[in-house]
């Protein structure tokens, strides 16, 4: 097949173009290399970060000293704080299982249940190298066996030398020598806001430390809700739970200022402790004689306030003629008790004891507690519009009384 002139021209044009391209490519391959242009680094995006390597500082070596005042205080007395495990036998109620119907139903195979063993755990602290220690009365009262465990793991059989229900203080003795002891402080100078540190075994967790502040001092037993106690309690927000009972409350110097006592189950953020002066005084009597004696008047009383006077006026069943503006109102003078024998009657208002002005029932208890059994006490009373001074001789506090 032949080619026309037109087709031949087109082919020539293509050949010329192809040759030009090939020549340009060959020239390009032979030309010197152009140095690359330095481009700026790409901008960092939120998902891109350059990896930086840093060396970690070495761990500090363990130290044996501490500037923490709480840790320092605990270290001073921790070895002298003990766990007290007690158990007592509880017999079934008399006649509770002597029912003929039970024997008829079960036959001769019926056997009454055995005696129950109640176990409890509390705390305490050693006050002498020979093994004298203090705890709460309710921790060891009625116990058949008492086991004392030290922080270092040593265990001793404890002997209860005495308990005082009125103050909830108990004295226990273990046989040992060169035992660690606590240092006793002074609770009389405490100020709300000072540090308070509690050590004990709450819920069986040994050597637990809690800290807070002194919330108040001089709380009366009636304010705390246990009117039959003769204690001016220390209030703290340091946690005091079951098992802490009997353990020490410390100041920031590591000195014992109180004996922890778990009183109210609903006391959230409220802890109470027996002042160490009270605990030491009662414990000394228990160690020496096995008993603590408390002077007793035999009166039931209440604070005389404006509200009290108004209620007395509105109650026709009360024949009290009260004209006093202050003092403590006697509600009842128990028959044959010292107060009644001295002439004190219901409706009398106590104005002073041994010339010291009285305004609350707690102050009456405080002043009587400071007297000696059988020692004459001058009590000023107001009866109606008359004022007189009566001499009362307290007797030993009977266990079955609450006044």
CB within 8 Å of 291: residues ≥ 6 apart? 162, 164, 285
Domain ranges of the chain: 69-91+115-173, 183-289, 295-396
The reported pLDDT for the residue numbered 364 is 93
Residue 313 or 209, more confident: 209
The reported pLDDT for the residue numbered 270 is 85
CB within 8 Å of 95: residues ≥ 6 apart? none
Residue 184 has pLDDT above 50, yes or no: yes
Look at the domain 69-91+115-173 and name its fold.
Thrombin, subunit H (2.40.10)
Residue 221 has pLDDT above 60, yes or no: yes
DSSP string, 356-375: EE--SHHHHHHHHHTSPTT-
Looking at the structure, give the CATH architecture of the domain made up of residues 295-396: Roll (2.30)
Element of type H or E holding 102? helix 100-106
Q: Sorting pLDDT into bands at 50, 70 and 90, what band is 311?
A: confident
Q: Which of 85, 138, 220, 352 is catalytic?
A: 138
Residue 250 or 204, more confident: 250
Confirm whether 294 is a catalytic residue: no
Same fold, 183-289 and 295-396: no
DSSP string, 140-186: HTT-SEEEEE-TTS-EEE-EEEEEETTTTEEEEE---SS---PEE--
Q: Which of 85, 164, 168, 348 is catalytic?
A: 168
Confirm whether 123 is a catalytic residue: no
The reported pLDDT for the residue numbered 116 is 76
Q: Which of 245, 294, 303, 362 is catalytic?
A: 245
Q: How far is CA 102 from CA 76, 90, 116, 219, in A?
A: 60, 22, 20, 52
Of 61-65, 149-153, 156-160, 377-381, least confident by mean pLDDT is: 61-65
Q: What is the pLDDT of residues 345-389, one digit of tens each?
A: 999 999 999 999 999 998 998 899 889 999 999 999 999 889 999
Residue 80 has pLDDT above 80, yes or no: yes
Integer Cα distance of 148 and 153 in angstroms = 10
Answer CATH for 183-289 from 3.40.190.10, 1.20.1260.10, 3.40.47.10, 2.40.10.10: 2.40.10.10
Q: What is the pLDDT of residues 114-141, one digit of tens each?
A: 667 788 899 999 999 999 999 999 999 9
Model pTM? 0.73
Confirm whether 168 is a catalytic residue: yes
Pairing state between β 377-383 and 295-296: unpaired
Q: What is the mean pLDDT of the chain?
A: 82
């Amino acid at each position: 097949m032949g080619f026309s002139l037109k087709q031949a021209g087109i082919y020539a044009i293509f050949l010329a173009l192809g040759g030009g391209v090939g020549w340009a490519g060959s020239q390009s391959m032979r030309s010197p290399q152009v140095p690359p242009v330095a481009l700026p680094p790409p901008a960092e995006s939120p998902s891109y970060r350059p990896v930086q390597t840093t060396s970690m500082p070495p761990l500090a070596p363990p130290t044996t000293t501490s500037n923490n005042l709480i840790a320092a205080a605990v270290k001073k007395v921790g070895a002298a704080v003990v766990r007290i495990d007690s158990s007592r036998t509880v017999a079934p109620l008399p006649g509770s299982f002597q029912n003929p119907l039970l024997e008829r139903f079960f036959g001769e195979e019926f056997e009454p249940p055995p005696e129950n063993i109640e176990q409890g755990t509390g705390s305490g602290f050693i006050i002498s190298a020979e093994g004298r220690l203090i705890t709460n009365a309710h921790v060891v009262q009625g116990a058949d066996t008492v086991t004392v465990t030290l922080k270092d793991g040593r265990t001793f059989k404890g002997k209860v030398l005495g308990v005082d229900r009125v103050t909830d203080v108990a004295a226990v003795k273990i046989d040992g020598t060169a035992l660690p002891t606590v240092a006793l402080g002074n609770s009389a100078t405490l100020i709300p806001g000072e540090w308070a540190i509690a050590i004990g075994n709450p819920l069986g967790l040994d050597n637990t430390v809690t800290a807070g502040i002194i919330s108040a001092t001089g709380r009366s037993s009636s304010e705390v809700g246990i009117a039959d106690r003769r204690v001016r309690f220390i209030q703290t927000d340091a946690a005091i739970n079951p098992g802490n009972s009997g353990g020490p409350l410390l100041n920031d110097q590591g000195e014992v200022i109180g004996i922890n006592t778990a009183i109210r189950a609903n006391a959230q953020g409220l802890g109470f402790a027996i002042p160490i002066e009270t605990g030491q005084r009662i414990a000394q009597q228990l160690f020496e004689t096995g008993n603590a004696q408390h002077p007793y008047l035999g009166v039931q009383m209440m604070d005389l306030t404006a509200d009290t006077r108004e209620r007395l006026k509105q109650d026709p069943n009360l024949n009290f003629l009260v004209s006093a503006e202050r003092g403590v109102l006697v509600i009842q003078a128990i028959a044959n008790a010292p107060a009644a024998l001295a002439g004190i009657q219901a409706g009398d208002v106590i104005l002073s004891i041994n010339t010291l002005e009285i305004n609350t029932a707690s102050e009456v208890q405080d002043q009587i507690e400071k007297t000696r059994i059988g020692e004459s006490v001058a009590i000023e009373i107001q009866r109606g519009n008359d004022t007189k001074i009566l001499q009362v001789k307290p007797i030993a506090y009977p266990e079955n009384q609450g006044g």
